[in-house]
Amino acid sequence: MSTRPESGTEIWKQIDGFPRYMISSFGRVKSLKEKEVRILKPNKTKFGYLQARLFRNGISHTKYIHRLVAKAFINNPDCLPQVNHKNEVKTDNHASNLEWCACRYNLIYGTRIERMSKSLTGRKLNVEVTARMSKPVKQLTMDGHLIKVWRSTREAARNGFNQSEISKCCRNKSRKHHGYRWQFYKEEEK
């Protein structure tokens, strides 16, 4: 699935590690079954990228199409980790539109910064709104004695704790962090 007209010659190569599938220079995926050869319909992720579901030994593997195209058609002598869409259209997976790049390059490429700043316009929260949205957390010893009540997980994080680990404890996904138990502090406990 692409936004550009099909131009030039479409080249097909076998997908590394998946002998029953081929990827084209236009970003199409072909399934090579014994009796039937067909082009797969890609799935679109919530972030706008196209994926294909490939099977090997009865196990499903979901792969980003732009990465399959880049691995098959674009040299990567510097072993760069990410693939950039030159025209910034995430569904345009033609080999000519893709390039290997470093993470930082991908983050600042093209109009991304401008688009991000526009999407954040008007989203700055004032102190009052932030305070209302924050949930106080209590830091407890392992045997349940209260050590301190923090205004938020973020405040505790500013003092050397890990915000996401505290949040996991509060949601009962983890038992302790830095040798302490953590729980959301309820208003009625005051």
Which positions ≥6 away from 177 have C-beta within 8 Å?
Answer: 161, 162, 165, 166, 168, 169
Tokens of residue 120, six digits:
């954040």
Tens digit of pLDDT for each residue in 159-185?
A: 999 999 999 999 999 999 999 999 998
**Do 23 and 79 share a domain, yes or no?**
yes
Confidence tier at 55 by pLDDT (50, 70, 90):
very high
**Do 82 and 134 share a domain, yes or no?**
no
Residue 120 lies in a domain: no
Closest C-alpha among 89, 128, 88, 79 to residue 106 = 88
**Do 100 and 16 share a domain, yes or no?**
yes
In Å, how far are 4, 28, 124 from 164, measured between CA atoms? 42, 39, 22
**Do 75 and 136 share a domain, yes or no?**
no
Residue with tokens 């390059």: 105
CB 136 within 8 A of CB 167: no
Tens digit of pLDDT for each residue in 26-39?
A: 999 999 987 889 99
Distance CA 155, CA 134 (A): 10
| Structural domain for 180, as ranges | 130-189
**Do 97 and 23 share a domain, yes or no?**
yes
**Do 105 and 26 share a domain, yes or no?**
yes
Share of the chain above pLDDT 70, in %: 84
- Please give the single-letter amino acid code of residue 50: L
Q: What is the mean pLDDT of the chain?
A: 88
pLDDT at 124 exceeding the cut of 70:
no
Distance CA 68, CA 29 (A): 9
Tens digit of pLDDT for each residue in 96-113?
A: 999 999 988 888 887 766
pLDDT at 45 exceeding the cut of 90:
yes
Tens digit of pLDDT for each residue in 58-68?
A: 999 999 999 99
Closest C-alpha among 184, 190, 187 to residue 140 = 184
Q: Which CATH number characterizes residue 68's domain?
A: 3.90.75.20
**Do 105 and 146 share a domain, yes or no?**
no
Tokens of residue 37, six digits:
């050869």
Counting the structural domains of the chain, the total is 2
pLDDT, residue 60, reads 95
Q: Is the pTM of this model over 0.95?
A: no
What are the helix (H) ranges across 17-170?
65-73, 103-108, 112-120, 127-133, 153-157, 163-170
Tokens of residue 154, six digits:
């973020």
Going 48 to 53 to 54 to 60, the CA torsion angle's sign is positive
How many CB atoms lie under 10 A from the CB of residue 109?
A: 16
pLDDT, residue 116, reads 67
pLDDT, residue 5, reads 54
